[in-house]
Amino acid sequence: MKITTIGLGYIGFSTAVLFAKQGHEVVGVDVNKHIVERLSRGTVHLEEPGLQELYREVLAVGEFSVSQKPCTSDAFIIAVPTPNKDDTYKSCDLSYVVAAVKSVIPHLEKGNLLIIESTIAPRTMEDVVQPMIQAAGFTVGVDVYLAHCPERVLPGNIAYELVHNPRIIGGVTPACTEKVKRLYATVVQGALISATASEAELSKLMENTFRDVNIALANELVKIGGDLQIDALKVIEMANNHPRVNLHAPGPGVGGHCLAVDPYFVAAAVPNLSPLIQTARAINTSMPDYVVALTEKLMRDAPTKKIAVFGLTYKGNIDDTRESPAMEIVSLLEAQGYDVAKYDSHVAGGISTMEEACAGSSLILVLTDHAEFIDIAKGVTAKMALPRLLDTKNSVKTTAADVLYMDFGNVHLYTQTREIASI
């Protein structure tokens, strides 16, 4: 089958490569000419384990090509961004999806499959995409088979999870579901779950909303523990010994293309019925300010204004800075006049070594749980003006003996928490 995949980000490109790996003829489409040019040279533009090797394989057998425009195909998979709008509830911006569908319509033929993998607001398939296809003269479920098939993957393990995780196939009609299931069955080894398009949309959103709400509970507990002078991390550890309790890990905020974005789509659809979701979002978006307030307290009597920030991505061991709370914290600290030395080996443009970042600094802020931060050697911190470390990810296991280690469980011992707990 010939498949055109529109949008060559983490999901779209990985999906396209895996379909090509199974013998489908795949055309990868992206409007970004730099991405197309780089892929044309055989070089992957994303940091994702195993993806370069897979891409090299499919290129070698001629199953993959790239373009800036779609072409006639048997199936079209759309995996373009869906950011938040700048409105009251940060609703779903469908402009990229709509533009992608419009670009496909001139190439549609009877029997084609049109699949939206992008994360979208509830009822988008029925209320937005289906009318566009019908206006072009096609009957959905008879002429063109339309479905929403959201991804469920962990960055850093995308190639494996796209194949082995269960996949929801949300057809606009039952016939759409069955047709699209046959296509995904050629790649996916996990269960293929039949659903309506609207069920698939809301399921994807609630999977990420569940995690966002539970992280918010942990983050709120951190603030409570700080105010009451109780080790919140120890509380979480003990509570999780209960057979039916699983408190999530707190952190400096929530980032990425899913958890920091998707809950707003639900809240915007029914703002009067989603107070819990909106409150959780407010808690998690407050965490960068909370971290900055802690930092200001710790730096009050510091010998220098320099802070070494370890990690800029929204999660460990990837290069993705989308919606990263670390980036927001850096901006806030710089606005306060601090000299922020940024180190992240996964992101271009920062300090080249941890030692250089730490030299002359009065605090290390660990904002991302990269593997290289688990053990921080003595040489890294030897030239600090004041050897202290605040680990907002609870991920650092060893440091030099002279480094004061702080985390969300004990930082209240070194700050006046009652002045900052209201943030």
Tell me the pLDDT tens digit for each residue of 331-381: 999 999 999 999 999 998 888 899 999 999 999 999 999 999 999 999 999
* pLDDT over threshold 50, residue 418: no
- Please state the rounded mean pLDDT for residues 78-92: 96
- Residue 204 annotated in active site: yes
Distance CA 389, CA 364 (A): 5
* pLDDT over threshold 60, residue 152: yes
* pLDDT over threshold 90, residue 113: yes
Nearest in space to 307 (alpha carbons), one of 336, 280, 278:
336
Which is catalytic among the residues 204, 306, 342, 393?
A: 204
* pLDDT over threshold 80, residue 419: no
pLDDT number for residue 423? 46
Distance CA 32, CA 234 (A): 47
Distance CA 54, CA 39 (A): 13
Structure tokens at 242: 């209960």
pTM: predicted TM-score of the whole model, two decimal places: 0.92
* Arithmetic mean of pLDDT over the chain: 95
Which is catalytic among the residues 92, 149, 176, 258?
A: 258
Residue 156's pLDDT band, with cuts at 50, 70 and 90, is confident
Q: What are phi and psi of 210, to 5 degrees?
A: -55, -45
Q: Is 290 exposed, middle or buried (0-12, 13-18, 19+ CB in 10 A)?
A: buried
Nearest in space to 295 (alpha carbons), one of 323, 336, 235:
336
Q: How many CB atoms sit inside 10 A of residue 188's CB?
A: 19
Question: Tens digits of per-residue pLDDT, 175-234?
Answer: 999 999 999 999 999 999 999 999 999 999 999 999 999 999 999 999 999 999 999 999
Residue 47's pLDDT band, with cuts at 50, 70 and 90, is confident
DSSP 372: G
Residue 416's pLDDT band, with cuts at 50, 70 and 90, is low
- Please state the rounded mean pLDDT for residues 277-301: 97
**Domains identified in the chain and CATH numbers:** 2-190 (3.40.50.720), 284-419 (3.40.50.720)
- Residue 176 annotated in active site: no
Residue 168's pLDDT band, with cuts at 50, 70 and 90, is very high
* pLDDT over threshold 60, residue 141: yes
- Please state the rounded mean pLDDT for residues 61-76: 96
